Amino acid sequence: MNWKSGSVRNLHSILILAGLATGCGGPSEEPREATGMKTELNVYVASYPLQYFAERIGGERVDVRFPAPAGVYPADWSPDAETVAGYQSADLILLNGAEYEKWVSKVSLSQSKLVDTSAGFADRILHVENAVTHSHGPEGEHSHGETASLTWLDMTLAVQQARAIRDAFAKARAESEDYFQGRFESLEHDIMDIDTALTERVAGKTDRRLLAAYPLYPYLARRYQLDIDSLRYDPMRPADMTANDFWHDLEHALEEHKAHWMFWEREPSAETAEKLKGYGVGIVVFDPCGGRPSAGDFLTVMKGNVENLGKAFAQD
């Protein structure tokens, strides 16, 4: 036997044994296409809440990508050419709608891939003024100006957005419809637990006047009947505190109606907190969670918001 012929026979034997081992209970490595299963759905999203909803619903059958860099406010973000190419290659593109993704109108994306998750409640989209805005109660008083886009802060609308994602996934992968439905129901339960908790925290206290540093909360105000006056300070750009004459606006708002609490997207500086204290105004951190959180996930951030709101209301 020469070396070459022996090696061939040995290799042949190894392959036969490997085949027998696979057939005796080992998992098949056959590609999904060969077994009739489609590959996982490639999905790009435009906000972190959509990423969270899509991952919860899609599980291992969906590859979800949210390419906005950390520390960037997604509503103000514009993707570069390489990132746009990623969106263009996706099977589905999940949008928040309500004019949240302003960059979408400036690039070429296949309309057949776009899923506007707020389209189902287009008649409930709110608007805010360009300066100081007032939101109050079930009707959500507002003037027609800038479109309010943080729809998911009304947990009932967040559920509708999650349902739109479930429907889009089921349409694209009909064989996984039951799988998506089961995972959607779990997500719906968790979101509605937050809705219940928020409702309980503000029960009997909705007549209390509140302030917000920036008009991020119209949907929260309408759903949970909160009386909120919003100033035009952007916590992502602290220089705006001077440019927008924040303290003058605050004084004017307090002259009209006394308020003891102000909503902030994140903790303001110690200097700002101390100055607010001088006006008799405390801080309630209520993170809208539009961008990827540094710790936890959408659910844990919302639970933290519930606790922050509850502590503030308990002190009044």
**0.85 surpassed by pTM:** no
Residue finishing a domain among 146, 170, 195: 195
Spatial separation of the C-alpha atoms in residues 316 and 310, rounded to whole Å: 10
Laid out side by side, the sheet with 227-230 consists of: 133-136, 227-230, 209-212, 261-264, 282-285
Structure-token pair, residue 20: 């027998």
Please indicate, yes or no, if residue 242 is contained in any of the structural domains: yes
Looking at the structure of the chain, the number of domains it has is 2
pLDDT, tens digit only, all 316 positions of the chain: 444 444 434 434 433 334 434 443 333 333 444 344 568 999 999 999 999 999 999 999 999 999 998 878 888 889 999 999 999 999 999 999 999 999 999 999 999 999 999 999 999 999 876 544 444 444 444 343 689 999 999 999 999 999 999 999 999 999 999 999 999 999 999 999 999 999 999 988 888 889 998 889 999 999 999 999 888 765 555 545 554 578 888 998 899 888 999 999 999 889 989 999 999 999 999 999 999 998 999 999 999 999 999 988 887 6
Q: Identify whether residues 221 and 268 lie together within a single domain.
A: yes
Q: Identify whether residues 209 and 190 lie together within a single domain.
A: no
Residue finishing a domain among 195, 225, 255: 195
Q: Which helix (H) or strand (E) segment is 69 a member of?
A: none
